[in-house]
Amino acid sequence: MAYNGLIALTSTAAGMLFLAAGFVVPAHLRATDRTVLEWAGKGTSNLVDHAAQAFATHRPGVARLLYQAVQVHLPATPGVEEAQARIRAAMQVWPAQARWGAANPWLDRHVGPAASGSGGQEARVLDWALPDAGRAGLAAGLAQSTHPTVMPLLACRRLERTVLLPPASSASGQPLDMALLVAAALAENGRLHPGLALAFERAATQAERGGDTMPLESGLLDLLAMMRRMDWEQMATVTERCEDLVALHGLVSASGMDGQEWANLFAAVTTSGSAREVAYYAERHGKEGMADLASTFALGDGAVRLLLERGWRVHDPTLRSQLMKSVPWTRASELLLGFVARSPRFGVALKYLLWADGLLLLLIGISRGHQYLMIDGTRRESRPPNLGFQSAMAVAGTVFLCVALEPFLSMKTLAPEIQSASFQPVLRARLRIEAPPVANAAMNVNILGMLIAFFAIQFVIYLVGLSRLRSIRTQLVESATKLRLLDNEESMFDAPLYLGIAGSVLALVLRLTGFGDVSLMASYSSTLFGILFCFILKVMHVRPYRQQLILESTDDTRP
């Protein structure tokens, strides 16, 4: 008796410890924990550092756009207003920095006074590149170029058949002509990513040889959208980090109808160094994802890069974060965070292994404690605990913890296919690209509540069935009579299945009638829980006891 009590106490304490340890592991199936991002961002530059560095290297256009993101997402940062005042003062002293966003001798020499924005006023590329004087200056500066990307782009100015924009040689061909010249100027100045330069070169060569002009015009439309919102240095900073035309269009699509997201996108591209990853993350998670991405700007470049690498939303562990900060185990938590950051899959495996072991130890402790509290006569008649059944229950409990506690578990993982700008209406595509809506089906409180309710109902019915079985087991009657009593309780033992089907039918009826927001996953879970508990009750409990009674009744009738 004392042996059972000792095992019960030890198993219960160990199970609680394992469950708590699993709760502390900051790993998730489809989310990135903020504590892991904080660890990854330690010692790396944050958004404020990038803005200060841009101003220190005489790139006020870049600094100004970065400080806009700082004002929105880091409002408590001191000195932002003073830094912006210094930027405006520097542009008053250096007009070239107001024209291009940074000093640029090539543009000064070939475009020069044709650019507006002197006197400290910012100048978007569209302001000085669209007028005839600006385009003439760009064409003169590129006339003698031998760059492999510049030559096919300039040759496309002679195209007579286009799809989205009027030919450059026509009376209304200024947008196409300007886009070709600006793209060529970016390549000539080495401000295009090698992958993007190669993509423009191939698309221009194809169009020049009489092929499809859609890829080229689509990329140029995206450049036009950027020219409407950015000065030269800002746009060149993005194109230097833009790997291909798909990434370019993804950024433009994510910027919104009026370009209201450009400050966030620019900050994300600057800190991460990859426009492709930023565009994919924005397309995948929409506005909520952009908010998560912006929340990592203060943590450092390492946090931004880790979030984009994982590709999942950010989870804020309020309770666990407070617990880890209140307990003096800094070294252990640092090791744990580093392990999860480097090996996220192993972190998830460790978390659920701890939970499964903890639940198994708890079940063992409960069964041993139940035996310890039994009276002597009942203890002799009771069967020892079934380890296989306890293991199955521990696995089922772990799955339930996963469904109940994992953030963003039912969120759609596939991003909508990036739509080419060539399929946008011409008038809208002229300078405005509308981002496609992204709908994330995240698990909400209603779905989680239904899952918990169905599980609780089935668990109560399961306990009632166990109670009826225990009542038959303890009755002082013959084995044959107990078999008949078991037959009489057959409907009770099937009750989990009946109620599970009834719950699913009721949920589907509510969904079809529009009574409430009922999830298909939640409705089918009722039947799933019913099948699970009916199987456990009849196969793990009723069937072995029925077999025992059959053998005993056979022995009673034997002469």
- pLDDT of amino acid 421: 38
DSSP result, 468-492: HHHHHHHS-S-HHHHHHHHHHTHHH
Alpha helices in 209-329 (DSSP H): 214-227, 232-239, 245-254, 262-272, 275-295, 301-310, 318-326
If you average pLDDT over residues 23-39, what whole number do you get? 88
Residue pair 485/475 in contact (Cβ under 8 Å)? The answer is: yes
Q: 32 by DSSP, 3-state: which?
A: strand
* DSSP secondary structure code for residue 12 in this structure: H
Lowest mean pLDDT among 79-88, 146-155, 293-302: 79-88
227-236 confidence digits (pLDDT tens):
988 989 999 9
- pLDDT of amino acid 418: 40
Percent of the chain at pLDDT exceeding 90? 25
- pLDDT of amino acid 402: 82
Radius of gyration of the chain (CA): 34
Higher pLDDT pick, 325 / 554: 554
If you average pLDDT over residues 514-519, what whole number do you get? 60
* pLDDT category of residue 79 using cuts at 50, 70 and 90: confident
Which tokens go with 257? 């109808």
Q: What letter represents residue 548's amino acid?
A: Q
Distance in angstroms (rounded) separating the CA atoms of residues 99 and 108: 9
Percent of the chain at pLDDT exceeding 70? 82
DSSP result, 488-507: HTHHHHTHHHHHHHHHHHHH
Higher pLDDT pick, 68 / 509: 68
Residue pair 270/50 in contact (Cβ under 8 Å)? The answer is: yes
**How many Å separate Cα 230 from the centre of its chain?**
28
Indicate whether 515 pLDDT > 60. no
- pLDDT of amino acid 192: 94
DSSP result, 319-365: HHHHHHHHSS-HHHHHHHHHHHHH-HHHHHHHHHHHHHHHHHHHHHH
Which tokens go with 492? 């009770």
Residue pair 55/49 in contact (Cβ under 8 Å)? The answer is: no
Residue pair 37/28 in contact (Cβ under 8 Å)? The answer is: no
Lowest mean pLDDT among 108-112, 378-382, 475-479: 378-382
- pLDDT of amino acid 327: 59
* pLDDT category of residue 380 using cuts at 50, 70 and 90: low
- pLDDT of amino acid 433: 35
CA distances from 244 to 137, 145, 199, 240, 276 (A): 27, 23, 6, 10, 8
464-495 confidence digits (pLDDT tens):
888 888 888 888 788 888 888 888 888 888 88
* pLDDT category of residue 373 using cuts at 50, 70 and 90: low
pTM: 0.70
- pLDDT of amino acid 446: 62
* pLDDT category of residue 148 using cuts at 50, 70 and 90: very high
Indicate whether 375 pLDDT > 60. no
- pLDDT of amino acid 414: 43
If you average pLDDT over residues 12-26, what whole number do you get? 88
- pLDDT of amino acid 427: 34
Count other Cβ atoms within 10 Å, centred on residue 252.
26
Q: Which residue has the tokens 């300039």?
A: 154
What angle do the packed helices 214-227 and 245-254 form, to 10 degrees? 40
Q: Where are the domains of the chain?
A: 2-34+321-412+443-557
Nearest to 226 by CA among 433, 69, 426, 438: 433
Residue pair 271/74 in contact (Cβ under 8 Å)? The answer is: no
Indicate whether 357 pLDDT > 60. yes
Which tokens go with 274? 């990859």
Mean pLDDT of the chain: 80
Q: What letter represents residue 91's amino acid?
A: M
- pLDDT of amino acid 275: 92
Which tokens go with 261? 């997201």
Indicate whether 264 pLDDT > 70. yes
- pLDDT of amino acid 280: 92
412-452 confidence digits (pLDDT tens):
544 444 443 333 433 333 333 333 343 434 445 566 667 77
Residue pair 486/470 in contact (Cβ under 8 Å)? The answer is: no
- pLDDT of amino acid 439: 40
HEC string of 142-160 equals HCCCCCCCHHHHHHHHHCC
* DSSP secondary structure code for residue 77 in this structure: -
Q: 447 by DSSP, 3-state: which?
A: helix
